[in-house]
């Protein structure tokens, strides 16, 4: 197969960590041609969606790729197109998904489905599964958030479009910075944010559960916060520890999986703290390399094998 990966600049990807790199390597090992481009290299011309892309030669180690000469190709040239651009889901990201929707109308297989990338906000999607979530409020009103804080006693607040723990704060009623934090996150009431009851189980890890075509990988990656930190995100200094899924993890994955598959969400990363679902990540879920290194479970190979079945 000929596969196109829409990613952030290749030079910025970490060969030892990024799941997109693991996917590309696995695809190459399985005999597929791997191409890469950035979202802003797509174009709509003569009613068709094209992109400027380069074929990659993949290898292990730090010098993990060589890029061939870039060429302008129609997306219909590819058996599958994988949208792996990191958030924020801003106007440019949304414009890219609209081009991908037009490509889908031409018959292109896009993973994840472009419309679902728009519809499944990674924070708000948890409300599709209310039986699994902790008390949660979405508001731009500092008074509403203050009342929620008073009722819960200890909360997490975060923007709706970030990643990697950016803009995540823990607040208590006596926090002297409470007003400043809420003013900053909401831009003085202009932006909606999410507030969730603080879950002490974060000390045991913020688990990332991967769903591939609706089926869970048998290991979760628990992101354990460093001392003095609330966030478990690896980008915020958390430590990743692979663990077999618990019965609760499997219950949550079993409920979300069929819904995600029906929506064309081929790869999903569920964030679970203790007993609760806290996020549904659909843009560029990661954790492949950490799970593989610690368990021997080759998540990337499993992913490409499942992709082959979908693209057959």
**CATH classification of the domain holding 63:** 3.40.50.20
281 is catalytic: yes
The pLDDT value recorded for residue 227 is 77
* Catalytic pick among 25, 123, 197, 207: 123
**Residue 29 Cα distances to 13, 23, 304, angstroms:** 19, 10, 10
* Catalytic pick among 208, 213, 233, 301: 208
Residue 131 has pLDDT above 70, yes or no: yes
Say yes or no: 215 and 163 in one domain. no
84 is catalytic: no
52 is catalytic: no
Say yes or no: 66 and 150 in one domain. no
* Catalytic pick among 25, 223, 233, 290: 223
66 is catalytic: no
The structure's pTM equals: 0.94
158 is catalytic: yes
At 7-31, the pLDDT tens digits run 999 999 999 999 999 999 999 999 9
At 159-214, the pLDDT tens digits run 998 777 788 999 999 999 999 999 999 999 999 999 999 999 999 999 999 999 99
Mean pLDDT of 218-222: 98
Q: How many domains does the chain have?
A: 3
* Catalytic pick among 207, 213, 231, 249: 231
259 within domain boundaries:
yes
Cis peptide before 206 (omega within 30 of 0): no
Say yes or no: 150 and 232 in one domain. no
279 is catalytic: yes
206 is catalytic: no
Average pLDDT, the chain: 95
What are all long-range contacts of 123-130, with beta carbons under 8 Å and residues at least 24 apart? 123/158, 123/160, 123/161, 123/194, 123/279, 124/160, 124/194, 125/279, 125/280, 125/282, 126/277, 126/278, 126/279, 126/280, 128/259, 128/280, 129/252, 129/255, 129/256, 129/259, 129/277, 129/280
241 within domain boundaries:
yes
Domain containing residue 217 = 124-128+201-281
Give the integer Cα–Cα distance in Å for 68 and 172: 54
Q: Which two tokens stand for residue 206?
A: 């913020």
Say yes or no: 41 and 144 in one domain. no
């Amino acid at each position: 197969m000929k596969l196109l990966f829409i990613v952030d600049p290749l030079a910025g990807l970490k060969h030892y960590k990024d799941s997109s790199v693991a996917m590309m390597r696995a695809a190459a090992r399985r005999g597929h041609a791997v191409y890469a481009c950035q979202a802003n290299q797509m174009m709509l011309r003569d009613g068709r969606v094209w992109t400027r892309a380069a074929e990659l030669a993949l290898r292990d180690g730090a010098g993990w790729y060589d890029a061939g000469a870039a060429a302008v190709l129609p997306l219909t040239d590819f058996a599958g197109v994988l949208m792996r651009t990191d958030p924020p889901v801003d106007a440019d990201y949304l414009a890219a998904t609209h081009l991908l929707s037009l490509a889908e109308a031409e018959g292109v297989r896009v993973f994840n489905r472009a419309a679902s990338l728009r519809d499944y906000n990674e924070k708000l999607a948890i409300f599709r599964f209310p039986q699994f979530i902790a008390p949660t409020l979405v508001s731009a009103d500092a008074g509403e958030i203050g009342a929620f804080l008073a009722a819960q006693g200890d909360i997490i607040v975060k923007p709706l479009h970030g990643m990697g723990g950016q803009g995540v704060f823990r607040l208590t009623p006596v926090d002297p910075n409470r007003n400043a934090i809420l003013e900053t996150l909401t831009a003085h009431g202009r932006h909606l944010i999410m507030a969730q009851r603080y879950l002490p189980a974060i000390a045991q890890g913020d688990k990332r559960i991967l769903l591939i075509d609706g089926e869970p990988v048998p290991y979760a990656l628990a992101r354990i916060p460093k001392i003095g930190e609330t966030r478990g995100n690896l980008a915020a200094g958390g430590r990743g520890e692979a663990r077999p899924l618990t019965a609760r993890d499997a219950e949550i994955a079993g409920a979300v999986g069929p819904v995600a598959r029906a929506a064309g969400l081929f790869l999903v990363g569920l964030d679970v703290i203790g007993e609760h679902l806290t996020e549904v990540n659909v843009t560029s879920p990661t954790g492949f390399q950490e799970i593989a290194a610690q368990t021997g479970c080759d998540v990337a190979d499993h992913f490409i094998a499942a992709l082959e079945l979908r693209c057959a």
